[in-house]
Chains A and B, each alone.
Chain A
Amino acid sequence: MLRSDVSNGRAPVREHDPAPHDPLPAPDWGEMLQLLSPDGTRHPDPVYDPWVEDVDDDALLALYEDMVVSRRFDVEAVALQRQGQLGLWPPLLGQEAAQIGSARTLRPDDFVFTSYRENGVAYCRGASPVDLVRVWRGNALAGWDPRAIGMATPQVMIGAQTLHATGYALGCVRDGVDSVAVAYFGDGATSKGDVHEAMVFAATFAAPVVFFCQNNQWAISEPVGLQAHRPLADRAPGYGIPSVRVDGNDVLAVMAATRVALDRARRGEGPTFVEAVTYRMGPHTTSDDPTRYADPEVRAQWAAKDPIVRVEQHLHARGALSEERTQEVKEKAEAFAMQMREATYGMTAPEPLTVFDHVLVEPSAELERQRSQYAAYLAMFGGEG
């Protein structure tokens, strides 16, 4: 099922490839792993079923809850930005299954390196409501202590974190542990040299790293067809890295595929590339305006493949989602969102002189000089300095 060479799982060959300036807005690149169809029907899959056979009603309900909470706080954060409480927010709307399905397969001793959109992943790793907004309010450059929750500070530079994950994975091997590093990145990042070099290094040294690509079809305004003329998952076999293309709106399929990848890494078989095919239902960030480039009809098609609705329907079909439980989940999501709102309002701006902190472990004499000069300057206005 994994694409271990380029002859396996190829997309159908088009009559002629489009020119580079004529990207396909929503290419249909063929088969992908799906266990739950958009209407909530469960497809049997002899290869991947065993990887999720432990996912009983309770486990599925837990995934459902995580997705609902993530969507809720994401909506709240957008509202906070619109109200001027946050400077910016990168919505994850539509990507809940890709993020929760993968993050909930991880162990605490695994380590994830993400981009800035993986707030659902951060939630699963244990980020608190205030952790999630610190950076976006402009109060800090990091929301949490990376080692406390096994998650690096979200990376703003596109694709840079894939190398960090690879290096971390090599460190795990040297430490003799079976922890895995997971790199989350998007379709745009696959064009970056860092991602290429990360896959070269990971393949060469059989690094226990999972390259988890959320193909949400957009890099700001640029469609994935501008980054690639073949499925992104097809790139990996060229490096000697097996890959799988999975319905990123299917939390079960994402979980199964990620577990296969993690298992390979833990057994010393090296990296795996997972392409989770999803859709960015919101703007790139709150500063973006997708009406300038995104086709509302395509968006509507993806809305019909909603990751939360399909689990809801599946749970209903299993008779596993009671009114009470639905209400509980809703209340939990509401509570988390309210904590996020209150934390945002309660945040005080950092002290001016902390701008000088932590440049070097041992501050330089020159920077201490700049600090004391600026303190004197501030004191001139009667501040505390």
Chain B
Amino acid sequence: MATTTMAAALGSGLRRALEDDPRVVLLGEDIGRLGGVFRVTDGLQRDFGLDRVMDTPLAEAGIMGVAVGLAYRGFRPVVEIQFDGFVYPALDQMVTQVGRLHYRTGGTVRMPITIRIPYGGGIGAVEHHSESPEAYFAHTPGLRVVTCASPQDAHTMIRQAIACDDPVVFFEPKRRYWTKGDVDDVALDDALPLDRARVVVEGTDVTLVAYGPLVVTARDAALAAADDGVSVEVVDLRSLSPLDLSTVEQSVRKTGRLVVTHEAQRSGGLGAEIAAGITERCFPVLSAAPVRVTGFDTPYPPAKLEEHFLPDLDRLLDAVDQVLGRQHSLTGWSA
């Protein structure tokens, strides 16, 4: 066991994948000599060479299309998109090619491509560096979409993603890159499968579903709620597509109340899908309508406004109050 940052845990996971399978190749902008703008790939080009860790031209569609060709040839490309907001030129290749080639070819051509995307806000960045575009990909058939919330999951899940025969969009919560935690080298066979959610805090009153950067916030909210006598169960979704609604359903059947949170804009977001799916499955046992705590339906705002855009501990607690039928921001605080 070692205590390490999430960025380093991802790096060591990538290193293990490169060691374990000679068909794994990394492609991206600045991932070689520089080690990536977040240093996730630090030292990998030095140790595995130019053929396996490639600095590419500045062309996201090109990176993605070249990865498709490499996968056709039997490689396992791991693509880094430098920032969330830079993925859009690659969206075409991801939607029209990566997500469909297995279906198109009746299962004869696999696309075991891992697409790493640092995402989310909270780092005071300029425009296009704080986005949460996961819903686009979760809406696209044929792509798996996952995100990690801890160094341990980062390390294990990146290895699982690369070993997976399907394309995996791997969202890395960039504001948690420097969060430290214990990391074990878990055998992939023993790890929780990539498409499963995990209950990270057990509780009985409210189910709080979070993923990526907001899992830490949700855990903090559960602690704060406990001080107030409210037992919050936190589910770390991990897989955004396919969704592990069974795990969420199991929790909601116990609590009867659901709060979902994500940084991404609300409309058409994952929260809507989870709320709808859980309502379909659990309507008779729900004590309150599900509540979403999300970014607003605005473009990502300038850094000095992002604290208002991003869900935080207090907004989560307000939503917990709402599903519990307590006074909350919309009812007002009468004495």
Contact = CB atoms under 8 A, between A and B. Distances in A.
B68 interface: yes
B105 A146 contact: yes
A-B pairs, 7 with minimum CB distance? A167-B69, A163-B65, A171-B73, A197-B62, A364-B242, A167-B66, A168-B69
Given A201-B57, A201-B62, A358-B106, A167 B72 contact: yes
B108 A164 contact: no
B159 interface: no
Contacts of A197: 57, 59, 61-62, 65
A251 interface: no
Nearest to A360: B166
Interface stretch (B92-100, B215-223, B224-232, B307-315): B92-100
Contacts of B267: none
Contact of A164 (B69, B164, B242, B246): B69
Interface string B98-113: 0011111111111000
B182 interface: no
B72 A164 contact: yes
A158 to B, nearest CB: 11
A362 interface: yes
Interface in A155-170: 157, 160, 162-170
B282 interface: no
B65 A169 contact: no
Main secondary structure of the interface of B (DSSP, over half): mixed
9 contacts: A111-B73, A147-B108, A160-B92, A160-B93, A164-B97, A194-B62, A197-B65, A200-B57, A358-B106
B272 interface: no
A358 B92 contact: no
Interface in A346-367: 357-362, 364-367
A141 interface: yes
Nearest to A146: B109
A145 interface: yes
A218 B77 CA distance: 36
A174 interface: yes
Contacts of A146: 72, 105, 108-109
B144 interface: yes
A166 B96 CA distance: 18
Main secondary structure of the interface of A (DSSP, over half): helix
Contacts of A333: none
A178 to B, nearest CB: 14
Chain A interface residue number, banded: 35 or more
B246 A365 contact: yes
A68 interface: no
Interface of A: 111, 113, 140-142, 145-147, 152-153, 157, 160, 162-175, 181, 193-194, 197-198, 200-201, 204-205, 357-362, 364-367
Nearest to B104: A141
Given A174-B51, A366-B242, 11 more contacts: A111-B73, A113-B69, A145-B105, A146-B105, A153-B105, A163-B62, A164-B72, A175-B73, A197-B57, A197-B65, A361-B107
Interface string B26-65: 0000000000000000000000000100101101011011
Contacts of A170: 66, 69-70
A362 B144 CA distance: 11
A200 B54 CA distance: 14
Contacts of B103: 141, 357-359
Nearest to B194: A362
A162 B69 CA distance: 9
B59 A200 contact: yes
Contact of A169 (B69, B71, B242): B69
A164 B65 contact: yes
Nearest to A354: B106
Between A146, A201, A360, the greatest number of chain B beta carbons within 10 A of the residue's beta carbon is seen for: A360
Contacts of A157: 92, 96-97
B191 to A, nearest CB: 15
A163 B69 contact: yes
B195 to A, nearest CB: 7
Interface string B230-256: 000000000001111110000000000
B124 interface: no
A163 B61 CA distance: 9
A98 to B, nearest CB: 23
Nearest to A361: B165
A200 B102 CA distance: 27
A360 B100 CA distance: 9
A171 B69 contact: yes
Contacts of A162: 65
A335 B77 CA distance: 44
B105 to A, nearest CB: 5
B73 A167 contact: yes
Given A157-B97, A167-B67, A360 B108 contact: no
A88 B106 CA distance: 21
A145 B104 CA distance: 10
B75 interface: yes
B240 to A, nearest CB: 12
Contacts of A358: 102-103, 105-107
A145 B141 CA distance: 21
Given A164-B69, A181-B69, A360 B144 contact: yes
A164 B108 CA distance: 16
A366 B245 contact: yes
Contacts of A174: 25, 51, 75
Contacts of B245: 366
Nearest to B55: A204
B74 interface: yes
B299 interface: no
A360 B193 CA distance: 15
B302 interface: no
